[in-house]
Structure 1
Amino acid sequence: MDSPTPVVVLASTDPTVRETAIATALLDRPDLVVVVHDLTGDPGPGPETDPADSAVTLTRRVLDWAGAREQTEVALEHACAGCALREDAVPAIAALLADGASAVLLALPLGAEILPATRQLAHETEPGSRLFGARLAHTVAALDPGTIRADLVDDGDVVAHLVTADLVVLAGHDDAGRDLVDALRSPTSALVADLCEPWLALALAGEHDLEDAEERCDPVTSGPGHGFRHVDEADGVRIAASGVWQVELTSERPFHPERLLALAADLAPEATTSRGVFWLPNRPDTACGWEATGGGVLIGVAGPWEESEPQTRLVVVGHGDAGLAPWRSIRRAFLRALATTRETAEPAAWLGRPDPLARFLGDPADLYRTSPPAA
């Protein structure tokens, strides 16, 4: 029986880095076939838009060692990487498998996240599905360490790529950028510090573990990143020689809803990126996720705690002048935002109180609904 054909998923936010990664992959493996997706345009007024009138264009390029095999443009209703994958990439890869391709690289649209793509692809590799006979190899994030500090401010997709990628490949050399990557990428990921090195062989030899990738993104099960190459510890903070630092703030107590809202900006200043989980005294069964980068904060319901003990945990990564100890003000804000033991002593006292976070987290009862509430 022939061995399964490896499929590598490549993600990036920089067009030059992505094209360089594709070129080096083709140099390393002349029998590789690359499928590249790009999405451009305006999705129009809504889901009822006629595809014939759609302003969203999917451009698919199929490349090999000899050059471009084909370039096709397809009108889509939505500027959605998931739709592009389902409607175009999967059939294109299936055709390559039928044609005897020995290895495939799928380059996602710029900024597209890895995990939604691998969820779909994993389903399609099951027996009887369109990509049966293929296997998901390691996923790859190609990034420029020289721009990552600015990218973190402008583009939260960078964090998603670092968290979910099995292999991170760097285009260029920058000590602070490299340390930021190490602080944010998964502890189980591998890193290639030079895009011109033969990274493709590592990716093809690996196997993507979808369950592990899901856990990396789950705020309940995720934790600190990979860690620095050379690190000092001071004041409970890990500090790299470049000035990049990381601190983990934890407590068994919940955040106080009003104080969390008031102190959110102090918990997430501009030169930091943070991820974590928290709970609230007025919704004790709900695990709430926290992501912040570039001074913006995103919170949402991650689901029930189930067998996990409720906890409040933020992992904060910062860059800049570590000598100013910016983590101290963040730590103070964290402690102030926590509910006191006295405030949580009577859970019933929180029932019926106004919830300032409801506009972000929804109705606590939604966690238990299995059908839409009655009108």
Structure 2
Amino acid sequence: MRKPLIVVTGVDPTAMQATMASLVWALPDVVAIRHVIEPITQQLSRFVSSMHGSEDTADIDLQHACVGCAVREDILPTILRLSQEPEWRTIVACLPVSAEADHLCATIARDAQVSRYVRLASVISTVPGEGAVDHLLDSDWLGESGLQTGPGDPRSVGEAACAQVEYADLIVSMGAISEMDGDFISALMRPTAEFVPGIENIDVEALTSGRHSSREAHAWRNPRSEYKLPNLGESRAWRIDLSSTRPFHPERLMDEIQGLSGRFRSRGCFWVPTRPSMANTWEGVDGQVSIGQHSEWDPDTPLTRLILTGVGCAPNGVHTIFGNLLLSNAEVQREPGTWLTSEDGLEPWLGDIPHAA
């Protein structure tokens, strides 16, 4: 019989450890694994515990301080080892602070050996009880607070936290939460996910009997997603879906990108005519936007789509700004060859243009 695995993610170490401890107390015969990445020394620390206390600790030198290496070199092997020990009925894996669960979940889904012993039951995203909106829209860099997963981690606190909420099956707050905070979380999470205010309110029986769908989580989180957004109903949160088959003009994008940033969450994909085969990502929180390469479009039709989510009053003029960034009718009619260039100004974020490299 396969053992349920519960994965805990978060950017607030206190909320993560409190959630893990709560599950250890609530579930019978459970073993918990917590991993910590030290990005400077490139060392991974492992802590295994149960109701009886500490079961195992170890320090592992990583070739690179990153989540992928941590999963490959110790997180997944430890899960596999403990799943074969008869005294444990459930496994809780607390990932390194700010790490996303998608890499681990995808690895488990395609690893026949691990899937033989483990059933990925649920992915949890933990958030603070007070000031959840401030936490999710925190524009401070992870490295400023020592929360990064590697020496080159470019993400902000809010970018990492929002991504975890968007991927998770269950979002849980550490204690009571305001209605505005709850509405914002509900607007970010995928429609089939659940939000539980207060760690003590987690239904552990439903948690262990569930089954995480990496495909469903990816469909919602994927920058290239064409997921139809449900209506938010009566909510203090708002959501704006900006979409077009046209690309952004590279020069106007650089000049006016801040027009699509503000105190809200933004995510999605875009393309530019100087790089027509490449889909690019867009991730933003609280006035900061990061862009980068994602994947080749082929065989899909290129799409420019940004989803903005916030609370309070929605910003004015974003539809106009979005439209101004897109190619005009006259620019669309230009011959594709006229966009061939050795540089378009986006190299610092998107790399060299392939045919010009």
TM-score w.r.t. the length of structure 1 is: 0.81
Out of 75, 79, 83, the residue aligned to residue 69 of structure 2 is: 83
In structure 1, the residue matched to 2:337 is 348
Out of 166, 169, 172, the residue aligned to residue 169 of structure 1 is: 172
Distance 2:291 2:203 in 1: 35
Out of 265, 276, 280, the residue aligned to residue 288 of structure 1 is: 280
- 1:18-33 equivalences in 2 (<5 Å): 18-33=16-31
8 A contact 1:10–1:140 mirrored in 2: yes
Which deviates further from its counterpart, 289-298 or 56-65? 56-65
Matched residue SS, 1:283: coil
Distance 1:353 1:93 in 2: 48
Distance 1:218 1:73 in 2: 33
Distance 1:99 1:75 in 2: 25
Distance 1:81 1:288 in 2: 22
- 1:163-312 equivalences in 2 (<5 Å): 163-171=166-174, 172-221=176-225, 223=227, 228=232, 230-231=233-234, 240-241=235-236, 244-269=237-262, 271-312=263-304
Distance 2:216 2:34 in 1: 26
Distance 2:193 2:178 in 1: 20
How far apart are 1:120 and its partner, in Å?
Answer: 2.5
How many residues were matched structurally? 335
Q: Deviations over 1:94-142 (max 9, x none)?
A: 3322221211010101111110121223344x0xx35632121121111
Distance 1:163 1:60 in 2: 27
Distance 1:60 1:28 in 2: 22
In structure 1, the residue matched to 2:322 is 334
- 1:53-64 equivalences in 2 (<5 Å): 55-64=41-50
8 A contact 2:122–2:169 mirrored in 1: yes
8 A contact 1:38–1:108 mirrored in 2: yes
8 A contact 2:76–2:104 mirrored in 1: no
Task: Point out the structure with max Rg over C-alpha.
Answer: 1
Distance 1:277 1:16 in 2: 33
Are residues 329 and 65 of structure 1, via their aligned partners in 2, closer, same or farther at CA, if it must alter by over 3 Å? same
Residue type of the partner of 2:102? L
Distance 2:173 2:230 in 1: 15
8 A contact 2:342–2:353 mirrored in 1: no
Q: CA RMSD in A?
A: 2.4
How far apart are 1:246 and its partner, in Å?
Answer: 1.4
Q: Deviations over 1:262-288 (max 9, x none)?
A: 11111112x111011222223333322
Distance 2:39 2:299 in 1: 45
Residue type of the partner of 2:192? T
Out of 79, 85, 89, the residue aligned to residue 93 of structure 1 is: 79
How far apart are 1:309 and its partner, in Å?
Answer: 2.8
Distance 1:83 1:352 in 2: 37
Residue type of the partner of 1:19? Q
In structure 2, the residue matched to 1:50 is none
Question: Which consecutive residues of structure 2, in runs of 5 or more, have no partner in the other structure?
Answer: 141-156
Residue type of the partner of 1:285? S
In structure 2, the residue matched to 1:118 is 105
Out of 99, 105, 117, the residue aligned to residue 92 of structure 2 is: 105
Residue type of the partner of 2:67? A
In structure 1, the residue matched to 2:55 is 69
Is 1:147 the counterpart of 2:140? The answer is no
How far apart are 1:31 and its partner, in Å?
Answer: 1.2
Identical counterparts, % of pairs = 30
Is 1:135 the counterpart of 2:119? The answer is yes
How far apart are 1:168 and its partner, in Å?
Answer: 1.4
Are residues 36 and 366 of structure 1, via their aligned partners in 2, closer, same or farther at CA, if it must alter by over 3 Å? farther
Are residues 87 and 366 of structure 1, via their aligned partners in 2, closer, same or farther at CA, if it must alter by over 3 Å? farther
In structure 2, the residue matched to 1:48 is none
Distance 1:225 1:159 in 2: 17
8 A contact 2:124–2:168 mirrored in 1: yes
8 A contact 2:122–2:208 mirrored in 1: yes
8 A contact 1:224–1:315 mirrored in 2: no
In structure 2, the residue matched to 1:46 is none
In structure 1, the residue matched to 2:147 is none
Are residues 214 and 69 of structure 1, via their aligned partners in 2, closer, same or farther at CA, if it must alter by over 3 Å? same
Are residues 161 and 226 of structure 1, via their aligned partners in 2, closer, same or farther at CA, if it must alter by over 3 Å? farther
Question: Which consecutive residues of structure 1, in runs of 5 or more, have no partner in the other structure?
Answer: 43-54, 232-239, 368-372
Residue type of the partner of 2:247? P
8 A contact 2:45–2:57 mirrored in 1: yes
8 A contact 2:30–2:91 mirrored in 1: yes
